[in-house]
């Protein structure tokens, strides 16, 4: 009996080990799949998930993450404020989300003959069927865990901090509502089931912020927008690529008029994916016609210009792409508040459509579009892509959804209590005491969140994906 118990304890401990420690402990060969051509999108989403964590940690103590930039605080200035521009990460998730779900069916539609269209329809059917499971199974699991943590009084460690005006800012109480104990397992389960039901409302266009974690309001929005994209691709599957592109552009403008900025962002992702599909197909056709094996465009492959002219042309192209990258960062880092009067954004603010619905997110959305175009044009080995395809960014991209799901519970259970604990020891007077408590609290909270996200991704999210595939296999017609 003791051996069986010891073996079970080892199994449980091994399951809760972060991947880095597990690989070191077990000497398992680490398998790293070959990065895809759009790996930079995964890296960008991973870094955006990290930014969202920073945003939700620091906005509880300071206005630096939302207010317009201040010359006295360099971290609040454009581009430098990207580290905590969590509100700007939402357009990135939506636009790149639209791009991701549209790329494969659009590539299949681009092929000649009915085979491509039929393959695209199969892909759309499979994707639409799996989407609700992909989004809601992990979400249901994490919110159920939160319900259990609440009833086990784990969240009580930070309750006193929220109620003590001498140890924390009013912002923490206003922006992070603490959850109440229900006192009954039946009431707790009922509250959780009601949360999931409201969160899965396909017919309600109003975003729902779940009681168990208000940060997850985007789950419902992503699901609804995904269904809209699937229906649009289904309706335009047999159209020419150029006509389909025009239809989606018109639909995106229509969404702006009706203040559906979220659907418009997804449509922008579809537009970008369609443009890239057309360009890739055209380039491949030129390559096949010329019998080329190089990855360079034909105009460069047979160029008759001198080496010096070629070098200058390349230098100008690189400089232009660097400028485009910086301008996209400038747009993405637009402040969430006072964005229309902030220095450096007043001219851009005049371009915001009056019916956009979330005016503060329009400039960051434009920045995301420019960022994608810049990275698409850039060489795979360029430093611009390397920012998003390095091992750290790709790892964050792999666990980005899990990090998004678990970071709220980690902060409520432990994270928000760490700065207060440090301030009770060293005091919070002065820049050093206050800043030291925040930085240490952020570092510890981030480590805990990354470990939790790693385990959640491996043990729950990945298993949910396998379970979804199992359901689909058993539901398909033979």
- Residue ranges making up the domain that contains 445: 45-286+312-475
Q: Is residue 100 part of a domain?
A: yes
| Residue 37 included in any domain | no
Close Cβ partners of 429 (under 8 Å, ≥ 6 residues apart):
none
Mean confidence (pLDDT) of the chain = 83
Query: Is 425 part of a structural domain of the chain?
Result: yes
Q: Is residue 40 part of a domain?
A: no
Q: Determine, yes or no, domain membership for 305.
A: no
Query: Each residue of 348-370: pLDDT tens digit?
Result: 888 888 777 788 889 999 999 99
Give buried/exposed letters for 131-164 (b at 16+ CB in 10 A, else e): bebbbbbbbbbbbbbbbebbbeebbeebbebbee
Does 308 score more than 80 pLDDT? no
pLDDT tens digits along 197-213: 988 887 877 888 888 88
Q: Which two tokens stand for residue 339?
A: 């964005």
**304 domain-assigned:** no
Residue 104 falls inside a structural domain: yes
Helix, strand, coil percentages for the chain (3-state, nearest 5): 75, 0, 25
Please count the structural domains in the chain: 1
The structure's pTM equals 0.86
Q: Is residue 28 part of a domain?
A: no
**pLDDT per position as a tens digit, 108-151:** 998 877 888 899 999 999 999 999 999 999 999 999 999 999 88
The answer to whether 424 and 377 have CB atoms below 8 angstroms apart is no
């Amino acid at each position: 009996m003791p051996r069986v118990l010891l073996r079970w304890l080892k199994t449980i401990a091994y399951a809760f080990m972060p991947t880095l420690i597990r690989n070191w402990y077990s000497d398992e060969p680490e398998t790293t799949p070959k990065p895809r051509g759009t790996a930079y999108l995964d890296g960008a989403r991973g870094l955006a998930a990290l930014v969202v964590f920073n945003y939700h940690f620091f906005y509880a103590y300071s206005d630096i993450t939302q207010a317009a930039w201040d010359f006295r605080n360099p971290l609040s200035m454009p581009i430098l404020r990207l580290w905590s521009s969590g509100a700007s990460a939402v357009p990135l998730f939506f636009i790149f989300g639209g791009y991701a779900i549209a790329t494969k069916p659009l590539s299949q539609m681009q092929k000649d003959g009915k085979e491509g269209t039929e393959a695209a329809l199969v892909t759309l059917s499979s994707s639409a069927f799996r989407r609700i499971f992909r989004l809601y199974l992990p979400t249901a699991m994490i919110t159920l865990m939160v319900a259990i943590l609440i009833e086990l009084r784990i969240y009580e460690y930070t309750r006193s901090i929220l109620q003590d005006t001498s140890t924390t800012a009013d912002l923490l109480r206003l922006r992070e509502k603490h959850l109440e104990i229900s006192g009954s397992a039946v009431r707790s389960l009922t509250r959780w089931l009601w949360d999931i039901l409201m969160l899965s409302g396909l017919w309600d266009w109003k975003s729902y912020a779940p009681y168990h974690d208000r940060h997850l309001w985007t789950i419902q929005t992503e699901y609804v927008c995904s269904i809209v994209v699937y229906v649009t691709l289904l309706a335009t599957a047999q159209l020419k690529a150029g006509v389909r592109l025009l239809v989606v552009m018109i639909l995106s403008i229509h969404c702006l008029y009706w203040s559906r900025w979220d659907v418009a962002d997804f449509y922008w992702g579809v537009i970008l994916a369609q443009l890239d599909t057309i360009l890739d197909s055209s380039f491949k056709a030129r390559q096949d016609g010329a019998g080329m094996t190089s990855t360079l465009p034909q105009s460069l492959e047979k160029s008759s210009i001198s080496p010096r002219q070629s070098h200058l042309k390349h230098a100008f192209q690189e400089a232009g792409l660097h400028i485009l990258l910086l301008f996209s960062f400038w747009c993405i880092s637009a402040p969430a508040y006072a964005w229309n009067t902030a220095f450096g954004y007043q001219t851009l603010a005049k371009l915001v459509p009056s019916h956009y619905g979330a005016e503060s997110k329009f400039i960051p959305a434009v920045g995301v579009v420019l960022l994608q175009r810049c990275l698409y044009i850039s060489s795979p080995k360029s430093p611009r892509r390397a920012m998003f395809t390095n091992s750290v960014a790709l790892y964050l991209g792999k666990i980005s959804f899990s990090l998004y799901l678990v970071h709220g519970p980690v902060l409520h259970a432990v994270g928000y209590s760490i700065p207060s604990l440090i301030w009770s020891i060293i005091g919070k007077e002065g820049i050093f005491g206050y800043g030291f408590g925040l930085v240490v609290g952020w570092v510890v909270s981030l480590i805990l969140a990354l470990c939790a996200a790693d385990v959640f991704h491996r043990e729950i999210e990945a298993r949910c994906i396998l379970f979804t595939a199992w359901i689909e296999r058993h539901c398909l017609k033979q």
